[in-house]
Structure 1
Amino acid sequence: MDNASEQRNYTTFWVGLASLTLEVVFIMAKSRVKKRPDGRYAMQIYLGTVDGKRKYKTVYGGTPKEVQKKADEVRILMGKGIDISAQRDTFKEWGNHWLKIKKAIVSSAHYKTCEQKLRIINCYIGDMPISQIKTANVQNIIFDLSSLNRWTGKPTAKRTLVEYRSVCRQVFQLAIENRIIDYNPASSVKIVSNQLKKERRALSVEEQGWIINTPHRAQKAAMIMMFAGLRRGEVIPLTWNDIDFEAGTIRVNKSVFKEGTRFNIKSGAKTESGNRVVNIPQILIDFLKLQPKDTILVCPDTKDVMMTETSWRRMWDSYIKDLNIKYGDLNGKRSKYDPKGVPITIPRITPHWLRHTFCTLLYLSGTDVLTAKEQMGHSDIKTTLGIYTHLDKEHKRNAVSKLNEYIETHASHMQVKNS
């Protein structure tokens, strides 16, 4: 190496060292606690360079000690690889990122559910920086919705609260994976529901007779739910082509999802296991054979098209009123022509009660739990086991009750004699 080259390298080294020294001095100067005109203290923390420009994070406090503590917390996060410069990103921004991912991997019905729940969550924390959201903020959402959901006017069901928490968890998890935050505020949120538990029971033998013996436009749907266990969302799009009278089966391969007050058909049942072939009893086969088949749908509305939420509700309300007039205890009650209406004195039978009745009939007929799961279209056998276990306990209680009645009836002949 000649003297000229050696001199150039020597000069380059010292220029670089001087530049680095100035950088360090500059950063150290910025990193000092300074008092502001408003009385607060502040410190700028060097984050690095982006596109050749220095980036800083400013922390504030009432005392130098408080500022230093906040600065230390920022440096700890930097040490974990957290992107400090993106911590002003709001929950809504990351919620939108999450929705884009969801849209590509879930059904349109599921996507709309996610979108609706995220919209409500955004009303609470959407504009907050995601890095500043604490567990208490998310917990307050759950508490608020469980007390009174302002969008529905009633307490939110426990299952729905779990779904809200799940949406929050997934959005926070996406931010964690992108090094925006280092923990998930929704992970330890507790679910407490104030909604009264809905009564879900099977129809009694007498009530089953009401369904069988009361002609009405809703009777077809009721019979199918009671003797085939279909969900409401599976009955509405059911076609006559789905029913095989020779084999005695109903093929469930589609369902509906709500969009406003309208139902849209989606390919496939509610869950993957909901796609099934249900074996139906002769009483349902005989009933369906007698029904007119001049429409594609088995249970259309009055205009022979698929029902909406409104048309279903009107039909079902009319059905309950007819059952009430025929079987209710209306002695001394108002006339059916009274503009105030007839008071409902019978249990308000729901589609889920009818489906639960089918599961009960499977249990009483000795159908094993695995077959029952397949016939019901449950995604988890625990659901079927839960119903079967409850029915088993109820059956045993009834058996003991009958035993007690028998003993009391024959007590005079069963006296224990002292030896």
Structure 2
Amino acid sequence: MAKTTFRKRIINNKEYYFFRLRHKNLKSPKDLYGTTVKELNKKIKDITYELDHNIKDEKESFENFFVNWLFEVNFINKKPSTKERYEGLYRNYIKNSELSKLKIKDISQTDIQKYYNSLIKKGISVTTITQLNKIIAPSIRYAYNNNLIIKDFTKAIILPTKKEEDKLNSKNKINPFTIDEQNKFINSIIGNDLEILFLTALNTGMRQGELLALTWNDIDFENNTISINKTVKYIAPVDTNGRGKGFVSVQTPKTVNSIRTIPLPLFLKDKLKEYKINQSKNRLLLANLYHNNNLVFCNTYGNYLDSSMVRKKFKKVLEKNNLPIRKFHDLRHTFATRLFELGENPKTVQTLLGHSNISTTLDTYTHVLSNTKEIVSNKLNDLYLSMSVN
């Protein structure tokens, strides 16, 4: 049996090795116990390392630490929509999770890695886990910078990646109208109270939030352009007690590229002018009951349209006219698809859609570009035949 200088103590009729640790960062000596010499040596080594690196002796759980960090630190200067998204991630994936009760000072890369792996096995998407890591990783860095943990291990975390076929499936989720479906849809919305909204979406590629935030000041009828510089979102405010009563939030677009000026088709210009005249008549009729927010698309009383209501009415039109059910966002995809079919180059489409980079445009509309290859080939063949080359 190996010799040891550790003394022994009997506690509850059980024998333990004992060591009284003194350190400059300890206000008073700390008694350590171990059932074996090896166990005790490890405790001494680990605690000494923490003390040498000025790690605070925190018993706080990871969840408590995370809540304080999220709401008191991270939420400063964040957009309401970002707060809502982060609160949802916390509530669904961190609150009462297997990470919750771990002590913040003991949290490790292995703990985070195992948790992400378990989420994958439960069928949680890679996108969700990536978003989750966007709040867990900075919280770990904050803990490290404030001497709550020994090491910033965030760069060692390996995030799951989508398989190639998953990427392809994701791209194929876009569901634009065919030409026939588009014609049927346009005819079916004549007289609908959202007719001009649907037509504008279909012929400009604007996102729903951009459409609902659009004001008459953004439309230049003289130069036939629309300036896109804001977006609107329905927000449920969040705090440590959960979500409160929702409100409409007008925000700047997420990326610089989303701020853009796009052409206004002449036929749509005429419809918008007529729509504006009718809106003005309604405003005069309602007098003080009308809230003049200068919105292009608003409800009867001039207030912001509810996005869920817009989606429901869009779905109702599709169902009533036996058109395949699709998302409102597919109106934007239809706009881009028609442009590609008309031979427009990807860079122009990128600019009109407000994509941050050309790869987003190319990846999203791979299927359309593949179809246009055959069209180009046929055009070249027709050109060759027209030249009467022997």
TM-score with structure 1 setting the length: 0.69
**Preserved CA contact (<8 Å) 2:58 2:103:** no
Amino acid aligned to 1:379:
S
Aligned length: 344
| Root mean square deviation, CA, Å | 3.5
CA separation of 1:66 and 1:252: change in aligned 2, threshold 3 A? same
Amino acid aligned to 1:111:
K
Task: Trace 1:107-126 onto structure 2 (pairs within 5 A).
Answer: 107-120=79-92, 121-124=94-97, 125-126=99-100
Q: Equivalent residue for 1:391?
A: 368
Give the whole-Å Cα distance in 2 for the aligned partners of 1:349 and 1:385.
21
Q: Percent identity?
A: 23
Q: Equivalent residue for 1:103?
A: 75
Q: Equivalent residue for 1:267?
A: 251
Task: Trace 1:267-306 onto structure 2 (pairs within 5 A).
Answer: 267-291=251-275, 292-294=278-280, 296-301=294-299, 304-306=302-304
**Could you list the per-position Cα deviations for residues 168-200 of structure 1 after superposition, in whole angstroms to 9, with x for gaps in the alignment?**
111111111222221336842433679984711
Give the superposition deviation at 1:203.
2.1
Aligned mate of 2:49, from 59, 76, 87: 76
Q: Equivalent residue for 2:316?
A: 318
Q: Equivalent residue for 1:63?
A: 36
**Preserved CA contact (<8 Å) 1:253 1:269:** yes
CA separation of 1:293 and 1:33: change in aligned 2, threshold 3 A? farther
Can you give the 5+ residue segments of structure 1 that lack an aligned partner in the other structure?
1-28, 149-154, 325-345, 407-419
Give the whole-Å Cα distance in 1 for the aligned partners of 2:13 and 2:134.
43
Aligned mate of 2:352, from 368, 375, 386: 375
**Preserved CA contact (<8 Å) 2:20 2:29:** no
Q: SS of 1:356's equivalent?
A: helix
Give the whole-Å Cα distance in 1 for the aligned partners of 2:160 and 2:193.
41
**Preserved CA contact (<8 Å) 1:33 1:64:** no
Amino acid aligned to 1:72:
K
**Preserved CA contact (<8 Å) 1:176 1:184:** no
Give the superposition deviation at 1:65.
1.2
Aligned mate of 1:245, from 207, 213, 221: 221
Q: SS of 1:375's equivalent?
A: helix
Q: SS of 2:76's equivalent?
A: helix
**Could you list the per-position Cα deviations for residues 258-291 of structure 1 after superposition, in whole angstroms to 9, with x for gaps in the alignment?**
3248451223123332222221323432332342
CA separation of 1:89 and 1:286: change in aligned 2, threshold 3 A? same
Q: Equivalent residue for 1:342?
A: none
Q: Equivalent residue for 2:173?
A: 199
Amino acid aligned to 2:312:
R
Give the whole-Å Cα distance in 2 for the aligned partners of 1:366 and 1:399.
9
CA separation of 1:49 and 1:282: change in aligned 2, threshold 3 A? same
Amino acid aligned to 2:194:
A
Amino acid aligned to 2:279:
K
Q: SS of 2:12's equivalent?
A: coil
1:92 and 2:69 are equivalent in the alignment = no
Q: SS of 1:105's equivalent?
A: coil
Give the superposition deviation at 1:244.
1.9
Aligned mate of 2:128, from 147, 160, 165: 160
Give the superposition deviation at 1:355.
1.1
Q: Equivalent residue for 1:26?
A: none
CA separation of 1:238 and 1:396: change in aligned 2, threshold 3 A? same
Give the whole-Å Cα distance in 1 for the aligned partners of 2:7 and 2:143.
31
Instruction: Choose between structure 1 and 2 for higher RCO, CA contacts under 8 A separated by at least 6 residues.
Output: 2
Q: Equivalent residue for 1:209?
A: 183
Can you give the 5+ residue segments of structure 2 that lack an aligned partner in the other structure?
237-244, 284-293, 383-390
**Preserved CA contact (<8 Å) 1:228 1:358:** yes
Give the whole-Å Cα distance in 2 for the aligned partners of 1:204 and 1:298.
28
Give the whole-Å Cα distance in 1 for the aligned partners of 2:196 and 2:316.
14
Q: Equivalent residue for 1:416?
A: none
